[in-house]
Amino acid sequence: MPKAKPAVVYDINVLVAAFVGPDAEWPFIALVPPTTNSPDSDALSIAFDADEFSLYSSPHIMENLARVLVDAYGVLPARAARIVIAVLEIVETSGGAVIDPPRKACSVADYEDNLILDLAIAAEATIVVSNDTDLTSMSPWHNRIAILRPREFVARVI
């Protein structure tokens, strides 16, 4: 029986930066190993390749991805919807899923960060990829979930 791929969760900030960050490559997705100047885009490229891990997301992440793209970056709603669909396709292609996790985490003062940790628990993730210092400073969270910045994650996978 084949071994299941490790579960990984991308924080909303990684997805946003992959699509609209200063070095974002979207709609281009680099070949693996990626060679862009954007570690967020490179992380997305690795998930798109779907060989190393399964990407998990949540309705919360998808809704907030669209909201941040529109409200903070002026992305047209139709384009934000296409971006969300692209992420959902990457999640599915990787063998992951979109799950709505129960509330369990309360390790961080920021409510949004706890929702990312709730997803990691529910998905049994081994890695969370985030640009959020509040999260990365807790790595490894509960001595079982590594919380890595995109550049570190890409370096480890490649």
100 has a pLDDT exceeding 60? yes
For position 1, what pLDDT does the model report? Answer: 35
Q: Is residue 152 situated within a structural domain?
A: yes
Q: Please give the backbone phi and psi of residue 131, each rounded to the nearest 5 degrees, phi first.
A: -100, 5
Q: Which residues contact 92 (CB under 8 A, 6 or more apart)?
A: none
For position 157, what pLDDT does the model report? Answer: 83
Q: Is residue 118 situated within a structural domain?
A: yes
Q: Is residue 52 situated within a structural domain?
A: yes
- Domain range spanning residue 105? 7-132+147-157
- Choose among 87, 111, 110, 112: nearest CA to 98: 87
pLDDT above 70 as % of the chain:
84
For position 155, what pLDDT does the model report? Answer: 85
Mean pLDDT of the chain: 84
Q: Is residue 47 situated within a structural domain?
A: yes
Give the mean pLDDT of 8-36.
79
115 has a pLDDT exceeding 70? yes
The CATH number linked to 55 is 3.40.50
Confidence grade of residue 87 (pLDDT, cut at 50, 70, 90): very high
Q: Is residue 138 situated within a structural domain?
A: no
- Count of the separate structural domains present in the chain: 1
